[in-house]
Structure 1
Amino acid sequence: MLLETSIGAVIRYKSPVSSKEPEFLILKNRRGSWGFPQGHKEHGESELETLKREVREETGIQFLEIMSFIGTIRYSYMKLNGIRSHKEVKFYFATTPIRDIVISYEHASYRWVSFLSGLNFLAHRQLKSILIKGHRTGLY
Protein backbone atom coordinates (compact mmCIF):
# COMPACT_ATOMS: atom_id res chain seq x y z
CA MET A 1 0.00 0.00 0.00
CA LEU A 2 1.33 3.38 -1.02
CA LEU A 3 0.36 6.60 0.79
CA GLU A 4 0.63 9.83 -1.18
CA THR A 5 0.31 13.29 0.33
CA SER A 6 -0.75 16.29 -1.73
CA ILE A 7 -1.60 19.88 -0.92
CA GLY A 8 -4.33 21.81 -2.72
CA ALA A 9 -5.89 25.26 -2.79
CA VAL A 10 -9.34 26.74 -3.14
CA ILE A 11 -8.35 30.09 -4.65
CA ARG A 12 -10.69 33.08 -4.68
CA TYR A 13 -10.07 35.99 -7.01
CA LYS A 14 -9.60 39.09 -4.86
CA SER A 15 -11.52 41.57 -6.98
CA PRO A 16 -10.88 45.31 -6.60
CA VAL A 17 -14.69 45.62 -6.64
CA SER A 18 -15.65 44.12 -3.29
CA SER A 19 -19.38 43.90 -4.02
CA LYS A 20 -18.80 41.38 -6.80
CA GLU A 21 -19.78 37.75 -6.17
CA PRO A 22 -16.71 35.68 -5.17
CA GLU A 23 -15.10 33.68 -7.97
CA PHE A 24 -13.04 30.53 -7.49
CA LEU A 25 -10.38 29.03 -9.74
CA ILE A 26 -10.94 25.54 -11.11
CA LEU A 27 -8.69 23.66 -13.52
CA LYS A 28 -9.70 21.06 -16.08
CA ASN A 29 -7.24 18.17 -16.25
CA ARG A 30 -6.36 16.26 -19.42
CA ARG A 31 -8.92 13.56 -18.53
CA GLY A 32 -11.68 16.19 -18.54
CA SER A 33 -12.32 16.49 -14.79
CA TRP A 34 -12.50 19.84 -13.04
CA GLY A 35 -10.71 20.38 -9.75
CA PHE A 36 -8.56 22.71 -7.70
CA PRO A 37 -4.81 23.27 -8.06
CA GLN A 38 -2.98 20.59 -6.08
CA GLY A 39 0.17 18.54 -6.11
CA HIS A 40 2.58 16.26 -4.32
CA LYS A 41 4.62 17.44 -1.40
CA GLU A 42 8.34 17.16 -2.12
CA HIS A 43 10.86 15.96 0.44
CA GLY A 44 11.75 18.71 2.90
CA GLU A 45 8.93 21.05 1.89
CA SER A 46 6.40 22.44 4.32
CA GLU A 47 2.74 22.25 3.34
CA LEU A 48 2.63 25.97 2.56
CA GLU A 49 5.80 25.77 0.45
CA THR A 50 4.21 22.92 -1.51
CA LEU A 51 1.01 24.92 -1.94
CA LYS A 52 2.78 27.99 -3.31
CA ARG A 53 5.00 25.93 -5.63
CA GLU A 54 2.15 23.85 -7.03
CA VAL A 55 -0.08 26.89 -7.61
CA ARG A 56 2.79 28.69 -9.36
CA GLU A 57 3.60 25.64 -11.53
CA GLU A 58 -0.02 24.90 -12.47
CA THR A 59 -1.35 28.46 -12.90
CA GLY A 60 1.54 30.92 -13.12
CA ILE A 61 0.17 32.76 -10.06
CA GLN A 62 3.11 34.34 -8.23
CA PHE A 63 1.16 36.15 -5.52
CA LEU A 64 -1.00 34.03 -3.27
CA GLU A 65 -2.31 35.02 0.15
CA ILE A 66 -2.96 31.87 2.17
CA MET A 67 -5.86 32.53 4.50
CA SER A 68 -6.80 29.32 6.29
CA PHE A 69 -6.80 25.53 6.34
CA ILE A 70 -10.11 24.10 5.03
CA GLY A 71 -9.87 20.35 5.42
CA THR A 72 -8.54 17.01 4.20
CA ILE A 73 -9.90 14.47 1.75
CA ARG A 74 -8.79 10.85 1.40
CA TYR A 75 -9.33 8.36 -1.39
CA SER A 76 -7.82 5.27 -3.01
CA TYR A 77 -7.12 4.57 -6.66
CA MET A 78 -5.31 2.04 -8.82
CA LYS A 79 -2.07 3.26 -10.39
CA LEU A 80 -1.12 2.29 -13.95
CA ASN A 81 1.28 -0.34 -12.58
CA GLY A 82 -1.61 -2.07 -10.78
CA ILE A 83 -0.63 -0.97 -7.26
CA ARG A 84 -3.38 0.48 -5.09
CA SER A 85 -2.47 3.91 -3.77
CA HIS A 86 -4.08 5.80 -0.92
CA LYS A 87 -4.02 9.56 -1.28
CA GLU A 88 -4.53 12.34 1.23
CA VAL A 89 -5.02 15.91 0.02
CA LYS A 90 -4.98 18.83 2.46
CA PHE A 91 -6.76 21.93 1.18
CA TYR A 92 -6.15 25.56 2.08
CA PHE A 93 -8.16 28.66 1.23
CA ALA A 94 -6.18 31.40 -0.52
CA THR A 95 -6.81 34.63 -2.41
CA THR A 96 -5.04 36.26 -5.32
CA PRO A 97 -5.39 39.55 -7.22
CA ILE A 98 -4.21 37.71 -10.37
CA ARG A 99 -6.97 36.81 -12.81
CA ASP A 100 -4.99 35.84 -15.93
CA ILE A 101 -3.81 32.26 -15.64
CA VAL A 102 -1.08 30.42 -17.53
CA ILE A 103 -1.98 26.75 -17.18
CA SER A 104 0.60 23.98 -17.16
CA TYR A 105 0.83 21.05 -19.56
CA GLU A 106 -1.13 19.02 -16.97
CA HIS A 107 -4.31 20.96 -17.66
CA ALA A 108 -6.56 21.65 -20.64
CA SER A 109 -8.28 24.82 -19.41
CA TYR A 110 -9.36 26.90 -16.43
CA ARG A 111 -12.36 28.91 -15.26
CA TRP A 112 -13.23 31.40 -12.57
CA VAL A 113 -16.60 30.28 -11.23
CA SER A 114 -19.13 31.31 -8.60
CA PHE A 115 -19.70 29.07 -5.58
CA LEU A 116 -22.82 27.50 -7.14
CA SER A 117 -21.20 27.05 -10.56
CA GLY A 118 -18.22 25.45 -8.85
CA LEU A 119 -20.50 22.85 -7.31
CA ASN A 120 -21.84 22.06 -10.78
CA PHE A 121 -18.42 21.79 -12.43
CA LEU A 122 -16.70 19.71 -9.75
CA ALA A 123 -17.40 16.05 -10.47
CA HIS A 124 -15.87 14.52 -7.36
CA ARG A 125 -18.03 14.55 -4.24
CA GLN A 126 -15.08 15.19 -1.93
CA LEU A 127 -13.97 18.27 -3.88
CA LYS A 128 -17.51 19.63 -3.61
CA SER A 129 -17.38 18.96 0.14
CA ILE A 130 -14.19 21.05 0.47
CA LEU A 131 -15.83 23.98 -1.36
CA ILE A 132 -18.95 23.65 0.82
CA LYS A 133 -16.94 23.37 4.06
CA GLY A 134 -15.14 26.65 3.38
CA HIS A 135 -18.46 28.32 2.60
CA ARG A 136 -20.18 26.97 5.74
CA THR A 137 -17.34 28.06 8.01
CA GLY A 138 -17.50 31.61 6.63
CA LEU A 139 -14.17 31.64 4.80
CA TYR A 140 -15.83 32.96 1.64
Structure 2
Amino acid sequence: MYTGLLHLHSILRYVVLILVLLSIFQAFAAGSKPYTPANKKVNLFALISTHIQLLLGLVLYFISPNVDFSRMSEPTFRYWNVEHISMMILATILITIGYSKSKKAVDAKAKHKAIYIFYTIAIVVVLLAIFTMKDRNPWFNM
Protein backbone atom coordinates (compact mmCIF):
# COMPACT_ATOMS: atom_id res chain seq x y z
CA MET A 1 0.00 0.00 0.00
CA TYR A 2 2.79 2.41 0.92
CA THR A 3 4.57 1.95 -2.41
CA GLY A 4 1.38 2.46 -4.42
CA LEU A 5 0.49 5.64 -2.55
CA LEU A 6 4.04 6.92 -2.90
CA HIS A 7 3.94 6.37 -6.67
CA LEU A 8 0.53 8.04 -6.94
CA HIS A 9 1.82 10.98 -4.88
CA SER A 10 4.88 11.22 -7.13
CA ILE A 11 2.83 11.18 -10.34
CA LEU A 12 0.22 13.64 -9.08
CA ARG A 13 2.89 16.23 -8.32
CA TYR A 14 3.35 16.75 -12.06
CA VAL A 15 -0.40 17.22 -12.55
CA VAL A 16 -0.45 19.79 -9.75
CA LEU A 17 2.62 21.57 -11.13
CA ILE A 18 1.18 21.75 -14.67
CA LEU A 19 -2.23 22.98 -13.51
CA VAL A 20 -0.85 25.60 -11.12
CA LEU A 21 1.62 26.89 -13.71
CA LEU A 22 -1.17 26.99 -16.32
CA SER A 23 -3.31 29.00 -13.89
CA ILE A 24 -0.45 31.42 -13.26
CA PHE A 25 0.26 31.90 -16.96
CA GLN A 26 -3.42 32.39 -17.77
CA ALA A 27 -3.81 34.95 -15.00
CA PHE A 28 -0.64 36.78 -16.01
CA ALA A 29 -1.58 36.87 -19.70
CA ALA A 30 -5.19 37.85 -19.06
CA GLY A 31 -4.55 41.25 -17.51
CA SER A 32 -7.95 42.95 -17.60
CA LYS A 33 -9.55 40.47 -20.01
CA PRO A 34 -12.76 38.80 -18.84
CA TYR A 35 -12.54 35.97 -16.34
CA THR A 36 -13.85 33.11 -18.45
CA PRO A 37 -15.36 29.80 -17.37
CA ALA A 38 -12.21 28.16 -18.76
CA ASN A 39 -10.09 30.24 -16.38
CA LYS A 40 -12.31 29.22 -13.50
CA LYS A 41 -12.07 25.52 -14.44
CA VAL A 42 -8.28 25.50 -14.67
CA ASN A 43 -8.00 27.34 -11.35
CA LEU A 44 -10.50 24.96 -9.72
CA PHE A 45 -8.74 21.85 -11.08
CA ALA A 46 -5.45 23.22 -9.76
CA LEU A 47 -7.08 23.70 -6.35
CA ILE A 48 -8.66 20.23 -6.34
CA SER A 49 -5.49 18.46 -7.47
CA THR A 50 -3.50 20.31 -4.81
CA HIS A 51 -5.92 19.22 -2.10
CA ILE A 52 -5.86 15.61 -3.30
CA GLN A 53 -2.06 15.75 -3.31
CA LEU A 54 -2.11 17.08 0.26
CA LEU A 55 -4.45 14.31 1.42
CA LEU A 56 -2.21 11.66 -0.15
CA GLY A 57 0.79 13.31 1.46
CA LEU A 58 -0.86 13.29 4.87
CA VAL A 59 -1.65 9.58 4.58
CA LEU A 60 1.96 8.94 3.55
CA TYR A 61 3.19 11.07 6.43
CA PHE A 62 1.59 8.75 8.96
CA ILE A 63 2.75 5.48 7.35
CA SER A 64 6.16 6.51 5.97
CA PRO A 65 9.38 5.01 7.29
CA ASN A 66 11.02 8.39 6.54
CA VAL A 67 9.05 10.06 9.33
CA ASP A 68 10.92 9.24 12.52
CA PHE A 69 10.91 11.86 15.25
CA SER A 70 13.60 10.08 17.23
CA ARG A 71 16.09 10.94 14.46
CA MET A 72 15.40 14.67 14.15
CA SER A 73 19.11 15.50 14.34
CA GLU A 74 19.63 13.91 10.91
CA PRO A 75 18.85 16.32 8.05
CA THR A 76 16.94 13.79 5.95
CA PHE A 77 14.56 12.86 8.74
CA ARG A 78 14.13 16.48 9.83
CA TYR A 79 13.21 17.35 6.25
CA TRP A 80 10.48 14.68 6.07
CA ASN A 81 9.30 15.17 9.68
CA VAL A 82 8.88 18.94 9.60
CA GLU A 83 10.05 20.92 6.59
CA HIS A 84 8.34 19.08 3.72
CA ILE A 85 4.93 18.82 5.33
CA SER A 86 5.02 22.41 6.64
CA MET A 87 5.91 23.90 3.29
CA MET A 88 3.37 21.82 1.38
CA ILE A 89 0.57 22.72 3.79
CA LEU A 90 1.56 26.38 3.42
CA ALA A 91 1.49 26.09 -0.39
CA THR A 92 -1.96 24.43 -0.25
CA ILE A 93 -3.24 27.20 2.03
CA LEU A 94 -1.93 29.86 -0.35
CA ILE A 95 -3.62 28.22 -3.34
CA THR A 96 -6.87 27.94 -1.38
CA ILE A 97 -6.72 31.61 -0.37
CA GLY A 98 -5.96 32.66 -3.94
CA TYR A 99 -8.90 30.70 -5.33
CA SER A 100 -11.22 32.02 -2.61
CA LYS A 101 -10.17 35.63 -3.22
CA SER A 102 -10.63 35.24 -6.97
CA LYS A 103 -14.05 33.73 -6.40
CA LYS A 104 -15.13 36.64 -4.17
CA ALA A 105 -13.70 39.37 -6.39
CA VAL A 106 -16.15 41.19 -8.63
CA ASP A 107 -13.74 42.65 -11.18
CA ALA A 108 -12.08 40.28 -13.68
CA LYS A 109 -8.72 42.00 -13.18
CA ALA A 110 -8.93 41.38 -9.42
CA LYS A 111 -9.79 37.72 -10.02
CA HIS A 112 -6.74 37.22 -12.25
CA LYS A 113 -4.53 39.18 -9.85
CA ALA A 114 -5.53 37.03 -6.86
CA ILE A 115 -4.74 33.84 -8.76
CA TYR A 116 -1.47 35.21 -10.07
CA ILE A 117 -0.20 36.44 -6.71
CA PHE A 118 -1.21 33.54 -4.45
CA TYR A 119 -0.51 30.70 -6.89
CA THR A 120 2.90 32.20 -7.69
CA ILE A 121 3.82 32.47 -4.01
CA ALA A 122 2.67 28.85 -3.55
CA ILE A 123 4.90 27.65 -6.41
CA VAL A 124 7.84 29.54 -4.93
CA VAL A 125 7.25 27.77 -1.60
CA VAL A 126 7.14 24.39 -3.37
CA LEU A 127 10.35 25.16 -5.28
CA LEU A 128 12.05 26.21 -2.04
CA ALA A 129 11.02 22.87 -0.54
CA ILE A 130 12.48 21.03 -3.53
CA PHE A 131 15.79 22.86 -3.40
CA THR A 132 15.94 22.46 0.38
CA MET A 133 15.57 18.73 -0.10
CA LYS A 134 18.28 18.66 -2.74
CA ASP A 135 20.75 20.30 -0.36
CA ARG A 136 19.95 18.03 2.59
CA ASN A 137 18.92 14.70 1.11
CA PRO A 138 21.73 12.48 -0.16
CA TRP A 139 19.19 10.29 -1.99
CA PHE A 140 17.93 13.19 -4.09
CA ASN A 141 20.69 12.91 -6.71
CA MET A 142 20.24 9.18 -7.29
TM-score by length of 1: 0.29
Q: Whose radius of gyration is greater, 1 or 2?
A: 2
More helix by share: 2
